[in-house]
Structure 1
């Protein structure tokens, strides 16, 4: 009987921890992480990509 109560208590806290973690991950609205990508305007740049291949004449 005691092992059953311990199992239920452990299962309750594991489930509670999982739900709290899931709630934290889904409701993360921290702007520090949302604005982690910097965008640059490339209006005057014509050579945006380079390759390692040489032109063969």
Structure 2
């Protein structure tokens, strides 16, 4: 899992980075071969959504 810190260090926008992570995990959940993998990717997407929400609140 890539951290937002590395995206910021490279001059990127944390909000854009988190949105890309959310999009990537949702895409991977759609193409997952097993139910367990789908659930794992959906959980990661939710984690990134919460991080994005926390970032926007502070």
TM-score for the superposition, normalised by structure 1: 0.42
Higher relative contact order (CA 8 A, sep 6+): 2
Return the index of the structure with the highest Cα Rg.
1
TM-score for the superposition, normalised by structure 2: 0.42
